């Protein structure tokens, strides 16, 4: 089959503003959008710029706006987007500065991640073996551990578009993963950060994040759980 | 730009992040990590099934059994001193990861859950044992995340998205690293007392691979370009179960949970090849068995070139709770639901047993007689401490990262505490600038992607699972021709920032070097051992070949390789296992 791939292009070394470029690409219905981009880069226009690495949805490099929705280019197949002769549009994720074509500046995203203290805190002496944890306690925070930090959620959030200082859904998911870990003792510090005006109260429950997550994490639900934890300052 | 650090870690996967944590714990040592990706994009995150350690949480287990399995799995090419340290230390290292907050799956008694994996046995081969400590089917993801989190906590300095171009090595002393900052196109000099290489493997030399697009053997190649040896490159593991055509990994944990391989008539064919542990035989044996079935016409699919992985007899909740990610992969990429349908699989290029030769402390070896490149260390897949010998057991790569990443980090820091900064050569960036100039200003028109594809197709055909002298001789010529064509490659994109065309052209140069060394190493080893299976020399030959290959570039004869050998270490500190026929 043949599809028309319409890509947003922007090279700050020569362009004042972004423009669109179309490529007619021969492909199979089971091809990933990443395969199309690779085909364009390798055989049609070597200047096309994007991030990619694992190509199967676990490294989070190739988050982009595909047919108007945030997705991983390696996890969405052509047949799920269009038919023979159809068009697929590809743009950079929104709310982060575009460095070149589909590649954005990830630093503000990782700054927000670091702000919530996304690491295990427990200063008690460790036992000789493992710290025990029940199957049920382990299950409470399982969803958050799936996060690959691709930024699909945060960059689909209208609040984040308006106010880039909002920590955003990805950071709150990371905080949730530790707040609800029975072994962790750093929740008070994290809840203070999340109670600031850049924290959870910015969330207006738009559900965009949950819809965008390529790992199917129920993000809005996790944010609600964090809001309740902040409200009662306990887990 | 010029930077100075006592310890510089190159690569931010499991081994690099473990090394940086441990180097940073040492007193008065400044540490930085450079990576061509963001650390959380590293391929450690793709590991699924588990990390092997004899915790004995489900059934009785001992480090001695793990040591034996590792050596036997490696077809006795494993250095036994490395295997002994490893199987002891990995127990403590797993507990340590748990103390760092790693969310392992749990048993009803609250302990870390463990499951079966290929080649892991009790009582020296009697039956399978639950040794793989796992976190659902994203154990590598959890290890990578946990180690990155700990580095954030420790305040480690990261230089993300820097492509390494050169190692500064003079008179067998490593003095630093030259790298290209992708965001600006600027070349940076990192002056360091010690450098730890942790950049992973080179699966992208093959057509079908589980490896990320970024795994192009960069630092192995750079090491080789310095006239230094690469060890045991002929041993490259094919994982038995990659998703058909795509090569995306389906964890061995799927068979650990009871998954069965079936041919076109539904036969459980592994019973014929490994009667004791069947589908849980080591990877080299299962991969070969699959290909034998396909070759003898018992494959499935349009081209009868795949085999089926059957999970349908397992309870739906086991599949969805313990194997959710691979279930998602099968559904997303093949439209196949493992709960109800069989999943078509093919072996996929997966793991380099060989690499930069090191001591058990991660010190890089400059030759087969044990001389060192002072100040240079390596750990993880880029390195060859020869824990894995001729074939790595499943779960031993994650164990390798944490055990030898830690040892390399400590050793590098200890060295840096005593060493002075060595004087850099005049104009240390000259080679790197020349490399880039050549690619940017070349007048050639050959296409990087076309050469890369020809390399990947031919390596898969000629130096893949089954090998013979004739095909590999042909491959030596093919690689030479591709190298000649590579000289005519030029980068057309003039942009400085994020010039990914330039990066891909550099990576192709690295892959071609690896292919050269790998093919020559494999052609010269006239026996079958572990992952190296020759149709013209079908038996293992301990009399002549119980030794490690050391491949050096022949600078006088471009495209040729000088091969030397060193003996296998056949005893550990307290135990030794005498080579025996390898049956399961």
Residue B88, classed as helix, strand or coil, is helix
- Interatomic CA distance for residues A37 and A8, integer angstroms: 12
Q: Match 């040592």 to its residue by tokens.
A: B29
Q: What's the Cα-to-Cα distance from A156 to each of A5, A164, A166, B386, rounded to whole Å?
A: 22, 12, 13, 47
CB contact residues (below 8 A), chain B span 367-426, against chain A: none
Rounded Cα distance, A218 and B3, in Å: 43
Contacts of B112 in chain A (CB under 8 A): 130
Bridge partners (DSSP) of residue B532 are: B529
A54 with B103: Cβ contact below 8 A: no
Measure the CA angle with vertex A44, ends A40 and A45; round to 5°: 85
User: Which ipTM was obtained for this model?
Assistant: 0.97
Taking CA atoms, what residue in A is nearest to B92? A129
For residues B64 and B116, give the distance between their C-alpha atoms in angstroms, rounded to a whole number.
17
Looking at beta carbons, which residues of chain B come within 8 Å of A176?
Answer: none
Q: Give the nearest chain B residue to A183 (CA atoms).
A: B101
Residue B356 sits at φ, ψ, to 5 deg, of -70, 120
A20 in reach of chain B (CB within 8 A):
no
What's the rounded Cα separation, in Å, for the pair B382 and B197? 7
Q: What percentage of residues in chain A have a pLDDT greater than 70?
A: 99
Cα separations (Å) of A24 from A2, A36, A40, A114? 7, 10, 9, 41
B312's tokens? 């349908």
Q: Token pair for residue B411?
A: 């050793």
Reported as a single tens digit per residue, the pLDDT across B50-79 is 999 999 999 999 999 999 999 999 999 999
Burial of residue A17 (CB within 10 Å: 0-12, 13-18, 19+) is exposed
Handedness of CA B521, B523, B524, B530 (dihedral sign): positive
Write out the two tokens for B122.
Answer: 């009790």
Question: Chain B closest CA to A164's CA: distance in Å?
Answer: 21
For chain A, give the number of residues: 235
- CB contact at 8 A, A110 and A27: no
Query: If you average pLDDT over residues A130-155, what whole number do you get?
Result: 98
Contacts (Cβ under 8 Å, ≥6 apart) of A87:
A3, A4, A5, A6, A22
Residues of chain B with Cβ-Cβ distance to A50 below 8 Å are 500
Residue B49 corresponds to which tokens in the numbers above?
A: 């099934």
The answer to whether B136 contacts chain A (CB < 8 Å) is: yes
Dump strand ranges (E) for B244-318: 260-262, 307-310
B46, closest residue in chain A (CA to CA): A58
Dihedral over Cα of A110, A116, A120, A123: its sign: positive
Cβ–Cβ below 8 Å for A130 and B153: no
Q: Could you tell me if B413 and B453 are in contact, meaning their C-beta atoms sit under 8 angstroms apart?
A: no
**What's the CA gap between A127 and B459, in Å, rounded?**
49
Q: Please name which of B292, B344, B342, B275 lies closest in space to residue B583, comparing C-alpha atoms.
A: B275
- The predicted structure's pLDDT at residue B442: 83
Residue A211 has a CB neighbour count (10 Å cut-off) of 14
Contact between chains at B107 and A110 (C-beta distance less than 8 A): no
Residue-by-residue DSSP string for B19-80: HHHHHHHSTT--EEEEESS-GGGSGGGG--S-EE----SSS---HHHHHHHHHHHTTT-S-H
Classified as helix, coil or strand, B455 is helix
Determine the Cα angle at B504 with ends B246 and B405, to 5°.
75
Among B101, B136, B493, the residue with its CB nearest the CB of A120 is B101
Strands A69-72 and A63-66, sheet pairing:
antiparallel
| Residue of B41, B107, B449 lying closest to A53 (CB–CB) | B41
The predicted pLDDT at position B443 comes to: 83
Residue B483: partners with Cβ closer than 8 Å, 6 or more residues away = B512, B516, B558, B559
Query: Can you tell me the distance from the alpha carbon of B274 to that of B286, in angstroms, rounded to the nearest whole number?
Result: 9
Closest in A54, A142, A178 to B43, CB measured: A54
Report the residue from B104, B106, B213 with minimal CB separation from A55: B213
Q: Given the structure tokens 């067998």, which residue do they identify?
A: B172
Task: Please determine, for residue A142, whether its predicted confidence score (pLDDT) is greater than 60.
Answer: yes
Could you give the CA distance from residue B531 to residue B466 in angstroms, rounded to a whole number?
Answer: 9
Question: What pLDDT, on a 0 to 100 scale, did the predictor assign at position A235?
Answer: 56
Q: Cα separations (Å) of B221 from A41, B200, B262, B435?
A: 25, 12, 39, 14
Alpha carbons within 13 angstroms on the beta-carbon side of residue B339 total 14
pLDDT per position as a tens digit, A43-85: 999 999 999 999 999 999 999 999 999 999 999 999 999 999 9
**Which residue among B283, B407, B467, B582 is the active-site one?**
B283
State how beta strands B561-567 and B547-553 pair. antiparallel
Instruction: Show which of residues 186-225 on chain A sit within 8 Å of chain B, judged by CB atoms.
Output: none
CB contact under 8 A, A145 and B495: no
Q: Are strands B2-10 and B186-197 parallel, antiparallel or unpaired?
A: parallel
Residue of A60, A69, A152, A151 lying closest to A106 (CA atoms): A151
Q: For residue A129, what is the DSSP state?
A: S
* Contact (CB<8Å) B111/A50: no
Which of A52, A58, A134 is nearest residue B45 as measured by Cβ atoms?
Answer: A58
- Predicted local confidence at residue B444, as pLDDT: 84
Q: Does B46 touch chain A if contact means CB atoms closer than 8 Å?
A: yes
CA dist B551 and B355 (Å) reads 10
| CA atoms of B342 and B548, how far apart (whole Å) | 40
> Which residues make Cβ contacts (< 8 Å) with residue B141, sequence separation at least 6?
A58, A148, B45, B46, B47, B135
The predicted structure's pLDDT at residue A6: 98
Query: Strand pairing of B236-243 and B260-262?
Result: unpaired
Say if residues A160 and A154 touch (Cβ distance below 8 Å).
yes
List beta partners, residue B348.
B239
- CB atoms under 10 Å from CB of B546, counted, come to 18
**How many secondary structure helices (H) and strands (E) does chain A include?**
8, 7
Q: Is B41 a catalytic residue?
A: no
Chain B (197-226) residues lying within 8 Å, Cβ to Cβ, of chain A: 212-214
Q: Are B132 and B114 in contact (CB under 8 A)?
A: yes
Contact A135 B107 (CB under 8 A): yes
- Please give the residue of chain A at the shortest CA–CA distance from B334: A30
**A with B: how many residue pairs have Cβ under 8 Å apart?**
148
**Interchain contact A57–B (C-beta under 8 A):** yes
Chain A CA closest to residue B160: A107
Instruction: List the single best residue of B102, B104, B106 to mutate versus A (max A Cβ within 10 A).
Output: B106
CA–CA min distance A120, chain B (Å)? 5
Q: Print burial letters for B352-370: b (CB count within 10 Å at least 16), e (below 16).
A: bbbbbbbbbbbbbbbbbee
The residue of chain A with its CA nearest to that of B492 is A46
Is residue A54 within 8 Å of B45, Cβ to Cβ? yes
pTM of the model: 0.98
Least CB–CB distance from A106: residue in B38, B42, B101: B38
Tell me the CA distances in angstroms from A50 to A9, A41, A78, B108, B412, one per residue in order: 11, 10, 18, 45, 35
Q: Say yes or no for a CB contact (<8 Å) between B43 and A59.
A: yes
B241 lies within 8 A of chain A by CB: no
Which residues of chain B are under the pLDDT cut of 70?
Answer: none
Nearest Cα of chain B lies from the Cα of A143 at a distance, in angstroms, of: 11
CB distance A54–B135 less than 8 Å?
Answer: no
A77 interface with B at CB cutoff 8 Å: yes
Taking the CA of residue B173 and the nearest CA in chain A, the distance in Å comes to 33
Chain A residue nearest residue B48, CA to CA = A58
Q: Which helix (H) or strand (E) holds B320?
A: helix B316-322
Q: What is the pLDDT of residues A17-42, one digit of tens each?
A: 999 999 999 999 999 999 999 999 99
B363 touches B238 (CB < 8 A)? no
């Amino acid at each position: 089959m043949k599809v028309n791939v319409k890509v947003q292009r922007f090279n700050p070394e020569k362009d004042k503003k972004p423009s669109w470029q179309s490529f007619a690409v021969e492909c199979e219905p089971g091809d990933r959008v990443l395969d199309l981009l690779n085909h364009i880069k390798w055989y049609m226009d070597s200047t096309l710029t994007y991030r990619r690495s694992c190509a199967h949805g676990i490294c989070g490099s190739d988050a982009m706006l595909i047919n108007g929705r945030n997705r991983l280019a390696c996890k969405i197949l052509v047949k799920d987007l269009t038919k023979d002769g159809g068009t697929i549009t590809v743009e950079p994720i929104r709310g982060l500065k575009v460095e070149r074509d589909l590649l954005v500046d990830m630093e503000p995203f990782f700054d927000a991640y670091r702000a919530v203290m996304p690491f295990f805190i427990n200063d008690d002496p460790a036992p000789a073996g493992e710290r025990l944890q029940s199957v049920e306690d382990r299950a409470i925070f399982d969803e958050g551990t799936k996060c690959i930090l691709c930024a699909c959620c945060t960059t689909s959030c209208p609040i984040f578009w308006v106010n880039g200082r909002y920590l955003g859904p990805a950071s709150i998911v990371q905080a949730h993963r530790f707040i609800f870990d029975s072994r962790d003792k750093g929740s008070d510090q994290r809840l203070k950060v999340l109670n600031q005006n850049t924290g959870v109260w910015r969330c207006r429950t738009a559900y965009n994040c949950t819809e965008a997550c390529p790992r199917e994490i129920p993000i809005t639900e996790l944010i609600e759980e964090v809001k309740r934890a902040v409200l009662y300052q306990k887990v | 730009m010029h930077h100075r650090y006592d310890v510089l870690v190159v690569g931010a996967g499991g081994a690099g992040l473990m090394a940086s944590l441990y180097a940073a714990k040492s007193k008065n040592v400044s540490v930085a990590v450079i990576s061509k990706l963001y650390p959380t994009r590293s391929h450690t995150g793709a590991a699924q099934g588990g990390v092997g350690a004899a915790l004995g949480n489900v059934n009785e287990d001992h480090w001695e059994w793990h040591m034996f399995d590792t050596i036997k799995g490696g077809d006795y090419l494993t250095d036994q001193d490395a295997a002994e340290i490893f199987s002891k230390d990995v127990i403590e290292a797993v507990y340590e990861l748990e103390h760092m907050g790693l969310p392992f799956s749990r048993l009803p008694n609250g302990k870390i859950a463990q499951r079966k994996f290929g080649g892991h046995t009790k009582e020296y081969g009697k039956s399978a044992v639950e040794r793989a400590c796992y976190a659902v089917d994203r154990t590598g993801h959890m290890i990578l995340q946990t180690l990155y989190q700990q580095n954030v906590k420790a305040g480690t300095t990261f230089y993300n998205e820097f492509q390494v171009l050169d190692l500064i090595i003079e008179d067998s002393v490593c003095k630093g690293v030259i790298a290209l900052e992708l965001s600006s196109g600027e070349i940076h000099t990192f002056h360091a007392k010690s450098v730890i290489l942790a950049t992973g493997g080179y699966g992208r030399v093959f057509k079908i691979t589980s490896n990320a697009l970024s795994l192009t053997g960069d630092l192995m190649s750079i090491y080789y370009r310095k006239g230094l040896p690469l060890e045991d490159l002929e041993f490259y593991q094919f994982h038995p179960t990659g998703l058909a055509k795509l090569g995306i990994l389906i964890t061995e944990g799927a068979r650990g949970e009871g998954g069965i391989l079936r041919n076109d008539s539904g036969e459980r064919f592994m019973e014929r090849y490994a009667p004791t542990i069947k589908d849980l035989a080591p990877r080299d044996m299962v991969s070969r068995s699959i290909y034998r079935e396909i070759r003898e016409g018992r494959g499935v699919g349009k081209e009868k070139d795949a085999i089926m992985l059957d999970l349908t007899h397992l309870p739906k909740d086991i599949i969805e709770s313990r194997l959710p990610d691979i279930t998602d992969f099968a559904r997303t990429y093949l439209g196949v639901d493992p709960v109800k349908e069989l999943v078509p699989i093919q072996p996929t290029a997966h793991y380099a047993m060989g690499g930069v030769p090191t001591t058990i402390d991660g010190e890089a070896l400059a030759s087969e007689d044990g001389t060192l490149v002072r100040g240079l260390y390596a750990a993880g897949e880029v390195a060859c401490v020869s824990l894995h010998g001729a074939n790595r057991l499943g779960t031993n790569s994650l164990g390798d990262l944490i055990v030898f990443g830690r040892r390399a980090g400590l050793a590098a820091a200890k060295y840096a505490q005593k060493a002075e900064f060595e004087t850099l050569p005049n104009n240390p960036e000259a080679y790197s600038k020349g490399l880039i100039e050549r690619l940017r200003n070349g007048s050639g028109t050959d296409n990087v992607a076309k050469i890369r594809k020809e390399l990947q197709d031919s390596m898969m055909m000629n130096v893949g699972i089954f090998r013979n002298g004739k095909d590999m001789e042909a491959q030596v010529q093919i690689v030479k021709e591709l190298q000649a064509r590579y000289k005519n490659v030029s980068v057309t994109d003039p942009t400085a920032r994020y010039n990914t065309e330039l990066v891909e052209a550099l990576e192709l140069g690295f892959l071609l070097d690896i292919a050269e060394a790998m093919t020559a190493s494999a052609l010269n080893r006239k026996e079958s051992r572990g992952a190296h299976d020759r149709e013209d020399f079908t038996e293992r030959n301990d009399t002549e070949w119980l030794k490690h290959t050391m491949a050096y570039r022949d600078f006088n004869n471009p495209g040729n390789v000088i091969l030397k050998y060193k003996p296998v270490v056949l005893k550990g500190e307290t135990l030794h296992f005498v080579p025996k026929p390898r049956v399961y």
